[in-house]
């Protein structure tokens, strides 16, 4: 809740006019970006300053607007990058400077974190704040390991405990033996991996049956999730053998028994596989969604950045004569977004498009148009510019027709040339965006890729392949990193990869994301 006398909540729009600034203590969830609340995403997108913890997924940082100051304040066992009192001072200072500050904390900000301490510090300093809950790790472990945290006839209570307390305290506050005596109770132990042998021994000494089913789940909700099931008496050895470590949750109780039957996540076809994909920093990734739905751990390498770059004179000329055109052609979702951003600056009604017919390449582009309730009359099954040109020519409507082709700075000439020469259309280009390469030297995802590698890397466009090749120095793998297989979405991308001297281990049967994923599953299944 907000610390204001007359209001319990402010909208994001209102925040922009708040002179005194505000701090939002936001739960980032257990890891998987899709588990973040809608409120959290809105606040991240509106923040002037974002201060984040170690376990926050890098994808969440990509939601920040241009110009947002991002501060890493992560803590790991025995290593505090920024001391807590300095974090408190930072939050107070930035808010008093009139900034919208998001303090992004793994899981829920008030469960075994220091959200309560930070809220107290803000209240003491007279700084307005809001607390936004997040999915805490125990809930994610239960869901993604198929373990019900409570169950009729087995567990009617859930107790959350921490195995890591303030090292300055003379003694622990947790009397583990007393919790060992509880019946019909599930114990969820956070931050206990460093003391797991001691904790379980104390629980048993307090009355816990040594045969009580126990599970440890590491990196819950992510493709790198790993789990071990054993008993209270044998779990410490099982964890040591499996080399599990933090971040992980220890679950103790009868609810763990038989969870293998409902362990849905670790049975997915790409579970345990690391797949790197190439994408623009400013686009939602349909490919990522498909891979994660199949259990993969996905690394998004932001090789290219797309920015609006409008030819104002050309845009005004085309919009002024919009009623004289027959077709408008989009080759990317970016083109759709940028065109309609400019269109609605001059027109209030979509009916001002007149009799324009719409053609596009790719399912993502078609979805952008569908979201505006516009019918796509030409969209070839094969997502290439050549196929779109052939499909438009096949309509028999191009002879002397006027066509707008919305383009970027790296679009090929093939589409326009075919429409002009074979279709005999009058084509006007409308450049609206520029694609540029991203500096990967300091990017955290690129650093992870360099250190650990991946099972595969997928290229969904020629521009991404060229960008990858041009930034090879920033993506050189460490000696012990896993060398990935390289997959291509189609013949054009394959040709570019070969021209750049890159290996091509597999190519999709047709240029579509579904076909690319199918080829990946088949290839990894044979590896």
Question: Is residue 4 in a domain?
Answer: no
pLDDT at 410: 62
Same domain? For 212 and 296 the reply is no
Same domain? For 225 and 250 the reply is yes
pLDDT at 4: 31
Same domain? For 46 and 95 the reply is yes
Question: Is residue 1 in a domain?
Answer: no
Helix axes 333-346, 363-370, angle to 10 degrees: 20
Same domain? For 452 and 385 the reply is no
CATH code, domain carrying 388 = 3.40.50.10090
pLDDT at 79: 53
Phi, psi at residue 97, to the nearest 5°? Answer: -85, 5
Same domain? For 83 and 193 the reply is no
Tokens representing residue 242 in the block: 């499996």
pLDDT at 312: 85
Residues 238/218, Cβ–Cβ less than 8 Å: no
Question: Is residue 29 in a domain?
Answer: yes
Same domain? For 23 and 89 the reply is yes
503 contact partners, CB below 8 Å, separation of at least 6: 486, 497
- From the list 48, 75, 105, 455, the catalytic residue is 75
Verify whether residue 124 is a known catalytic residue.
Answer: no
Verify whether residue 497 is a known catalytic residue.
Answer: no
pLDDT at 527: 63
Same domain? For 380 and 448 the reply is no
For the CA atoms of 325, 431, 339, 46, what is the dihedral angle to 10 degrees? 180
State which of 134, 159, 183 marks the end of a domain: 134
State which of 85, 102, 134 marks the end of a domain: 134
Same domain? For 339 and 351 the reply is yes
Residues 505/486, Cβ–Cβ less than 8 Å: yes
Q: What is the pLDDT along the chain (527 residues), one digit of tens a residue?
A: 334 333 334 434 334 434 579 999 999 999 999 999 999 999 999 999 999 998 899 889 888 987 899 999 976 655 556 889 999 999 999 999 999 999 999 999 999 989 999 999 999 999 999 999 999 999 999 999 999 999 998 999 999 999 976 655 545 679 999 999 999 999 999 999 999 999 999 999 999 999 999 999 999 999 889 999 999 999 999 999 999 999 999 999 999 999 999 999 999 999 999 999 986 544 557 888 899 999 999 988 877 777 888 888 888 888 888 889 999 999 888 889 999 988 988 888 888 888 899 999 878 888 889 988 999 999 888 777 888 888 999 999 999 999 999 988 766 678 889 898 998 999 998 988 887 777 787 777 888 899 999 999 999 888 788 888 988 888 999 999 999 999 999 998 999 999 999 999 999 998 888 999 999 999 998 66
Range of the domain at 411: 309-437
Same domain? For 322 and 259 the reply is no
Residues 370/405, Cβ–Cβ less than 8 Å: no
Verify whether residue 1 is a known catalytic residue.
Answer: no
210 contact partners, CB below 8 Å, separation of at least 6: 204, 231, 232, 233
Same domain? For 467 and 415 the reply is no
Q: For residues 78 and 38, give the distance between their C-alpha atoms in angstroms, rounded to a whole number.
A: 33
pLDDT at 334: 86
Question: Is residue 396 in a domain?
Answer: yes
Number of domains in the chain: 4
Residues 302/281, Cβ–Cβ less than 8 Å: yes
CATH code, domain carrying 146 = 3.30.950.10
Tokens representing residue 127 in the block: 């700084």
Q: Supply the pTM of this predicted model.
A: 0.74
CATH code, domain carrying 107 = 3.40.1010.10
CA-based end-to-end distance of the chain: 52
- From the list 48, 108, 191, 502, the catalytic residue is 191
State which of 409, 437, 465 marks the end of a domain: 437
Same domain? For 262 and 144 the reply is yes
pLDDT at 80: 53
Question: Is residue 279 in a domain?
Answer: yes
């Amino acid at each position: 809740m907000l610390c204001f006398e007359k209001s319990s909540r402010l909208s994001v729009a209102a925040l922009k006019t708040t002179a005194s600034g505000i701090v939002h203590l936001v739960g980032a969830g257990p890891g998987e970006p899709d588990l973040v609340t809608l409120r959290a995403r809105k606040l991240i997108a509106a923040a002037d300053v974002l201060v984040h913890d170690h376990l926050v997924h890098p994808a969440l940082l990509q939601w920040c607007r241009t110009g947002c100051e991002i501060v890493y304040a992560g803590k790991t066992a025995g290593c505090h990058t920024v001391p807590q009192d300095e974090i408190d001072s930072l939050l107070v200072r930035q808010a008093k400077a009139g900034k919208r500050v998001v303090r992004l904390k793994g899981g829920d900000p008030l469960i075994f974190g220091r959200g309560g301490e930070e809220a107290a510090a803000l209240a003491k300093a007279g700084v307005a704040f809001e607390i936004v809950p997040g999915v805490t790790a125990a809930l994610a472990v239960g869901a993604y390991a198929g373990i019900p945290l409570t169950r009729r006839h087995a567990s009617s209570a859930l107790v959350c405990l921490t195995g890591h307390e303030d090292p300055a305290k003379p003694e622990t506050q947790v009397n583990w033996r007393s919790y060992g005596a509880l019946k019909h109770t599930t114990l969820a132990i956070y931050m206990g991996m460093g003391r797991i042998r001691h904790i379980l021994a104390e629980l048993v000494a307090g009355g816990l049956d040594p045969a009580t089913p126990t599970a440890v789940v590491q990196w819950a909700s992510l493709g790198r999730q790993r789990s071990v099931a054993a008993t209270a008496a044998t779990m410490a050895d099982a964890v040591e053998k499996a080399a599990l470590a933090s971040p992980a949750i220890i679950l103790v109780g009868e609810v763990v028994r038989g969870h293998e039957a409902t362990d849905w996540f670790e049975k997915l076809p790409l579970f345990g596989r690391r797949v790197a994909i190439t994408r623009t920093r400013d686009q939602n990734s349909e490919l990522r969604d498909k891979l994660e739905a199949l259990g993969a751990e996905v690394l998004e390498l932001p090789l290219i950045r797309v920015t609006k770059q409008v030819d104002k004179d050309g845009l005004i000329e085309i919009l002024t004569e919009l009623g004289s055109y027959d077709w408008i052609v989009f080759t990317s979702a970016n083109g759709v977004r940028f065109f309609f951003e400019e269109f609605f600056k001059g027109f209030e009604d979509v009916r001002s498009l007149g009799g324009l017919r719409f053609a596009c390449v790719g399912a993502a582009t078609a979805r952008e148009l569908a979201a505006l309730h516009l019918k796509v009359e030409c969209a070839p099954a094969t997502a290439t510019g050549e196929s779109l040109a052939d499909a438009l020519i096949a309509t028999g409507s191009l002879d002397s027709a006027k066509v707008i082709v919305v383009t970027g700075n790296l679009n090929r000439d093939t589409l326009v040339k075919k429409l002009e020469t074979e279709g005999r259309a009058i084509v006007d280009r409308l450049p609206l965006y520029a694609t540029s390469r991203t500096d990967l030297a300091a990017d955290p995802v690129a650093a992870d890729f360099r250190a650990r590698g991946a099972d595969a890397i997928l290229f969904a466009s020629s521009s991404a392949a060229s960008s990858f090749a041009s930034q090879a120095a920033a993506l050189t793998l460490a000696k012990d990193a896993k060398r990935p297989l390289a997959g291509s979405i189609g013949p054009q991308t394959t040709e570019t990869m070969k021209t750049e001297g890159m290996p091509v281990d597999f190519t999709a049967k047709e240029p579509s994301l579904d076909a690319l994923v199918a080829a990946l599953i088949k290839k990894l299944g044979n590896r």
